[in-house]
């Protein structure tokens, strides 16, 4: 589990693909501190498991499905990536709870200054937009951001200069593909309200009648 507070930007050194899996090697610094084999590191918001360490580097396995569902498969040697170690229970929760499980990718369609901030508008599929709400949280390339505005097929986030400086968003322009992770709380609420099965089928769905029966209304 992660917070979406990027610790540093790393540099992709290589992606070696085999017949059924691949290995990414990333140059890093801070995230290597106190990190052991088997620990989780979020790479552009994608939870990967450290399998090897070198001199200022770490390697992790990636499955073909991961490369298809995230922007990792589009990266090239030298690409910058956002890095964050897994959350510890004694750390400050400065962002929001993120699982490192990318739901889909979106595309930056506009970057505009607004006062001391920069507004990024990101085109996103319905499977992400359904969970978004104004002033709610969303993970963009592993960065915990607040939704500023909702549009028909996109959403906007407002970035302060510090975020632009210390994350990859400051290096990527219009047309760049980003990883998106919706707030997991919204997913659980939806599942409970629908009764736990696709399409709302099944027993146990939460309704106004059941809330009234329980004395909550």
Domain count, the chain: 2
Residue 196 to residues 57, 192, 193, 200, 206, Cα–Cα distance (Å): 42, 6, 8, 7, 10
What is the per-residue pLDDT across 70-87, written as a single tens digit (0 to 9) for each?
999 899 999 999 999 999
Query: Do 114 and 80 share a domain, yes or no?
Result: no
Query: Do 108 and 176 share a domain, yes or no?
Result: yes
Q: Does residue 197 lie in a domain region? A: no
Q: Does residue 115 lie in a domain region? A: yes
Query: Do 73 and 122 share a domain, yes or no?
Result: no
Q: Does residue 151 lie in a domain region? A: yes
What is the per-residue pLDDT across 34-48, written as a single tens digit (0 to 9) for each?
999 999 999 999 999
Q: What mean pLDDT, rounded, does the chain reach?
A: 91
Q: Does residue 201 lie in a domain region? A: no
CA distance 85 to 80: 16
CA distance 154 to 82: 22
Q: Does residue 142 lie in a domain region? A: yes
Give the structural domain span for 173.
104-188
CA distance 192 to 15: 40
Query: Do 63 and 111 share a domain, yes or no?
Result: no
Q: Find tokens 């290096």 and name the residue.
A: 171
Q: Does residue 208 lie in a domain region? A: no
Query: Do 79 and 112 share a domain, yes or no?
Result: no
Query: Do 135 and 63 share a domain, yes or no?
Result: no
Token pair belonging to 189: 């609420």
Query: Do 75 and 114 share a domain, yes or no?
Result: no
Query: Do 121 and 162 share a domain, yes or no?
Result: yes
Higher pLDDT, 3 or 200: 3
* Least reliable range by pLDDT among 16-20, 39-43, 63-67: 16-20
What is the per-residue pLDDT across 122-158, written as a single tens digit (0 to 9) for each?
999 999 999 999 999 999 999 999 999 999 999 999 9
What's the confidence (pLDDT) of residue 41? 98
Q: Does residue 204 lie in a domain region? A: no
What's the confidence (pLDDT) of residue 198? 55
CA distance 174 to 122: 9
Residues 56-69 have a mean pLDDT of 92
What's the confidence (pLDDT) of residue 196? 59
Q: Is the model's pLDDT at 163 over the cut of 90? A: yes
Q: What is the pTM of this model?
A: 0.88
Q: Is the model's pLDDT at 31 over the cut of 80? A: yes
CATH number at residue 172: 2.40.30.20
Q: Does residue 3 lie in a domain region? A: no
């Amino acid at each position: 589990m992660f917070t979406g507070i990027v610790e540093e930007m790393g540099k992709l050194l290589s992606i070696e693909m085999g017949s059924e899996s691949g290995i990414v090697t990333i140059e890093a610094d801070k995230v290597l501190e106190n990190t052991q084999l088997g620990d989780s590191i979020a790479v552009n918001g994608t939870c990967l498991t450290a399998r090897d360490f070198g001199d200022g580097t770490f390697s992790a396995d990636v499955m073909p499905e991961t490369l298809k569902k995230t922007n990792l498969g589009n990266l090239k040697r030298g690409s910058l990536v956002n890095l964050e170690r897994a959350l510890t229970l004694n750390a400050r929760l400065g962002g929001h709870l993120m699982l490192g499980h990318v739901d889909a990718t979106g595309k930056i369609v506009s970057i505009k200054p607004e006062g001391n901030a920069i507004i990024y508008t990101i085109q996103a599929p319905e499977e992400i937009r359904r969970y978004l709400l104004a002033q709610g949280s969303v993970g963009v390339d592993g960065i915990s951001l607040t939704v500023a505005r909702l549009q028909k097929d996109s959403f906007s986030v407002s970035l302060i200069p510090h975020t632009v400086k210390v994350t990859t968003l400051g290096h990527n322009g219009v047309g760049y593909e980003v990883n998106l992770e919706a707030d997991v709380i919204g997913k659980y609420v939806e599942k409970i309200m629908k009764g736990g099965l696709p399409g709302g089928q099944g027993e146990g769905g939460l309704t106004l009648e059941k809330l009234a029966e329980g004395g909550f209304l």
